[in-house]
Amino acid sequence: MWGQSLAAGSQGSPSLSTVTEASNAFLVASAGTYAIALKNSSTQLPMLTWGYRIAQHTPAQTFGFSNHAVSGNTIAQLSKGGSSGKYEEMLNYISAAKTQVTNGGGTYEFGSFHQIQGEADQTFGTTAADYINSFILLKNNFQTDAGAVTGSLTAIPIFLSQTASWAYYGNAARIGLAQLQIARTISDSYVVGGQYQLEYAEGLHLTNVGYYHLGELHARAELSVLSGNGWAPFAPTNVVLSDTQIVVQYHVPTGSLQFDTTIVATQPDMGFSLSGTTATITGVSITAVNEITIAISKPITEQNAKVGYGIRYGTGPGLGNLCDSETATSVYDNKRLANWALHFEEALPVVVQPTYYWSVDEMNYYDGTNFIGIAP
């Protein structure tokens, strides 16, 4: 696992994983050894529960996990040649682990790359386009460099969780939206889900319970990919605008859409919002298993109007109330671990109003294609 303060478990004390939950899961030491059980005596890292669930899924295999994170660093600083040195550290651990395994007569296989990062880019002003370009460079470099170490040409999947800290920093959502775009457009890149529904210490970092749940969500997405089912982002697949409403159709990971106001307190319009228009939202409802219908106060005719979710409200993470009907629960506290909808902002399609042309002689009017009838 790689990233900044959330990957490092900042504010996540005391640890909830002082005893391992998987006997075949180990911490990889800098020398590449697998002698230390996967646990932590002081801090709850999301890596721990991600590792437990992956290892428990295949108990006959031995798994090694390592964490390479430092607070307050941008994606560029954490990447190849960056000032943090974490990219190079990660490759050194992979190389050392492979050497240890193969020297012991085993077969080494690299599994996946998990990224929890983006808050520094949000606060330091990285644009969405620059973040996406930095991610592409990181992904390509890691595929090449890790492949050279392991000798494998297999595509390495990268799993991200969508940062939810825009409101904490008091600026517009950008990086979380860039991460959604990454999952939509870049192969072998997956956003496991949002972070806004988790337990927060102070609006930026999670509590130990929040980190425990975050790790479980990372494992869920990876296990879905490993099983051949893929993992598409919990986000709109289509937006339809009419004079009276906006219909947002979703990819739903499990079951059907639901509003939950217990885990996240009720938000204005369930977290949905409009921008670039004087129209307002007058109601939000679930109208199909994968469909939200947003009633609007008047027709939207502005060219740059947008509809969004989870990007307008909240004093900490951006908030909304939309999740799916997943019933799986956390091992720690038996709390339901639904999938929660990702932050998004979509341009609304322009509704073209018909233009009428008068035929004075025949007292008819013409809509550009047909004569409609007697002019009113």
Coil, helix or strand at residue 236: strand
Burial of 103 (0-12, 13-18, 19+ CB in 10 A): exposed
Predicted pLDDT at 375:
42
Measured CA to CA in angstroms, residue 304 lies from 81, 243, 246, 248, 345 at distances of 39, 16, 15, 18, 12
Predicted pLDDT at 313:
60
Coil, helix or strand at residue 26: strand
Q: Using a pLDDT cut of 70, give the percent of the chain over it.
A: 91
Residue that has been written with the tokens 């020297």 in this structure: 103
Angle between helix 128-150 and 86-103 (nearest 10)? 20
Q: What is the pLDDT of residues 290-314, one digit of tens each?
A: 999 999 999 999 999 999 999 876 5
Predicted pLDDT at 47:
98
Average pLDDT, stretch 272-287? 97
CATH 3.40.50.1110 fits 2-226, yes or no: yes
Does position 355 have pLDDT exceeding 90, yes or no? Answer: no
CA torsion 144→145→151→156, rounded to 10°?
-60
* CA 300 distance to own-chain centroid: 29
CA torsion 164→169→132→344, rounded to 10°?
40
**How many angstroms separate the CA atoms of 270 and 262, rounded?**
12
Residues 6 or more apart whose CB falls under 8 angstroms from that of 180 comprise 162, 191, 233, 235, 342, 343, 344
Does position 359 have pLDDT exceeding 80, yes or no? Answer: no
**How many angstroms separate the CA atoms of 76 and 162, rounded?**
18
Sheet holding 245-250, edge to edge: 236-241, 245-250, 291-296, 281-288
Residues 6 or more apart whose CB falls under 8 angstroms from that of 168 comprise 203, 204, 315, 316, 317
Does position 362 have pLDDT exceeding 90, yes or no? Answer: no
Q: Which residue has the higher pLDDT, 91 or 32?
A: 91
| DSSP E strands, the chain | 2-3, 25-27, 36-37, 63-65, 68-69, 113-116, 158-162, 189-194, 236-241, 245-250, 258-259, 272-275, 281-288, 291-296, 306-309, 322-323, 344-347, 357-359, 364-366, 371-374
Predicted pLDDT at 281:
97
- 238-252, 265-279, 362-376: least confident range: 362-376
Annotated domain spans of the chain: 2-226, 236-347
Q: Give, in degrees to the nearest 5, the angle at Cα 199 between 90 and 213.
A: 50
Q: What is the pLDDT of residues 209-246, one digit of tens each?
A: 999 999 999 999 999 999 999 999 999 999 999 999 99
Nearest to 336, CA basis, from 267, 234, 262: 262
DSSP H or E stretch at residue 150: helix 128-150
CB atoms within 10 A of CB 331: 15
DSSP H or E stretch at residue 213: helix 208-226
Give residue 365's pLDDT band: very low, low, confident or very high (50, 70, 90).
very low
Give residue 32's pLDDT band: very low, low, confident or very high (50, 70, 90).
confident
CB atoms within 10 A of CB 357: 10
Strands 344-347 and 322-323: unpaired
DSSP H or E stretch at residue 223: helix 208-226
Predicted pLDDT at 317:
67
Give residue 85's pLDDT band: very low, low, confident or very high (50, 70, 90).
very high
In sequence order, what are the beta bridge partners of 240? 247
Does position 285 have pLDDT exceeding 90, yes or no? Answer: yes
Residue type, 178: A
Give residue 73's pLDDT band: very low, low, confident or very high (50, 70, 90).
very high
Q: Give, in degrees to the nearest 5, the angle at Cα 204 between 262 and 139.
A: 110
Residues 6 or more apart whose CB falls under 8 angstroms from that of 185 comprise none
Burial of 229 (0-12, 13-18, 19+ CB in 10 A): exposed
DSSP class of residue 195 equals S
8 Å CB contact between 97 and 70:
no
Which CATH architecture describes the domain 236-347? Sandwich (2.60)
- 130-144, 268-282, 355-369: least confident range: 355-369
Predicted pLDDT at 316:
59
Predicted pLDDT at 367:
47
Predicted pLDDT at 312:
79
Predicted pLDDT at 288:
98
The two most distant CA atoms of the chain are separated, in Å, by: 95
Average pLDDT, stretch 114-129? 95
Average pLDDT, stretch 279-298? 98
Q: Mean pLDDT across the chain, nearest whole number?
A: 91
Q: What is the pLDDT of residues 86-97, one digit of tens each?
A: 999 999 999 999
Does position 357 have pLDDT exceeding 50, yes or no? Answer: no
Give residue 368's pLDDT band: very low, low, confident or very high (50, 70, 90).
very low
Does position 376 have pLDDT exceeding 50, yes or no? Answer: no
Does position 373 have pLDDT exceeding 80, yes or no? Answer: no
